Copies of this chain bind each other. A is one copy, B any other.
Amino acid sequence: MAPKLGILAGSGELPLRLIDACRASGRAVFVLGFEGAADPANFAAVPHASIRLGAAADGLKILRENGVEELVMAGPVRRPSLASLMPDRRAAKFFARIGLRALGDNGLLSAIIAELEIEGFRVVGADSILATLLAPEGALGRIEPDTQALADIARGLEVARALGALDVGQAAIVQQAIVLGVEAVDGTDALIRRAGPLRREGVGGVLVKIAKPAQERRADLPTIGVATIEACAVAGLRGIAVEAGAALIIDRAEVAAAADRTGLFVVGVKPT
């Protein structure tokens, strides 16, 4: 029997899908939601608690009191400045040691995971709880990218890889070789929204979303879901390319159906 799973929950659907997977397999679960990101009302059916991001000591205590041994991080959390984080003594010690001033998101998350393991927790990736999350290679729905879309995907991969290498973001939108936007701290949803008004005439653009080259695979894997498809359709995009084997697709069948319904392609690609 798998030990009780602690879910460190941010926003979005992923924490809910992991809860569903645990309940389906009879695995005990405890949710620790981050204030401002996770909505506690979503977790009413399972044991849960909320803490603010800077409250490291309380967080560790709550996890131990609830018998959590294994942890998974799920769902995005808006990264605050050090000034607004109000770290407790435990968190302040950690930040002083890692040098927060210079870390990108992936560097920060990797350091947090290392710290949780020092504290005796095992940290696993969301895809180890729910294997069907990982994007397969090839088209998910009926529509396949054409020649211009493939060229835009190649350009998007090049740009997203360079950005990811600098730990800036995971996504780029390219239309007819023009880079309409790249993701930074604003996130993929904001990137898609701002690409809409930048759209040029002719065939639409492509969202490319891949893992960072040094991606900590147990946190913040690139993720898309039905809402991503719908936002891309509204913004006039033609499709989405994600990294096969390294991006999470929440509700694969529903994503495929949404892609077919909106006329978009969703394709898993292997960056070369």
CB of B179 within 8 A of CB of A101, answer no
Interface residue? A270 (CB, 8 A): no
- Count of identical protomers in the assembly: 2
CB of B162 within 8 A of CB of A166, answer yes
**B contact residues around A114 at 8 Å (CB):** none
Interface residue? A77 (CB, 8 A): no
> Scoring A residues 122 to 154 as 1 if CB is less than 8 Å from chain B, else 0, what string do you get?
000000000000000000000000001001000
Distance in angstroms between the alpha carbons of A172 and B180 in the assembled complex: 15
Interface residues on A, range: 35 or more
Once A148-B101, A155-B102 are accepted as A-B contacts, the answer to whether A185 and B198 lie under 8 Å apart by CB is: yes
Quote the shortest CB–CB distance from A203 to chain B (angstroms).
8
CB of A81 within 8 A of CB of B201, answer yes
CB of B177 within 8 A of CB of A184, answer no
Once A101-B177, A151-B101, A166-B158 are accepted as A-B contacts, the answer to whether A194 and B202 lie under 8 Å apart by CB is: no
Quote the shortest CB–CB distance from A242 to chain B (angstroms).
20
Interface residue? A26 (CB, 8 A): no
CB of A82 within 8 A of CB of B202, answer yes
Within A195-235, the residues touching B (CB, 8 Å) are 198, 200-203
**B contact residues around A198 at 8 Å (CB):** 185-186
A selection of 20 A-B contacts at a CB cut-off of 8 Å is A79-B178, A80-B201, A81-B178, A101-B148, A102-B155, A104-B177, A159-B166, A159-B168, A162-B162, A162-B163, A163-B163, A168-B179, A169-B179, A172-B184, A178-B185, A180-B184, A182-B182, A182-B184, A186-B198, A194-B194
Q: Which residues of A contact B (CB under 8 A)?
A: 79-84, 100-104, 148, 151, 155, 158-159, 162-163, 165-166, 168-169, 172, 175-182, 184-186, 190, 194, 198, 200-203
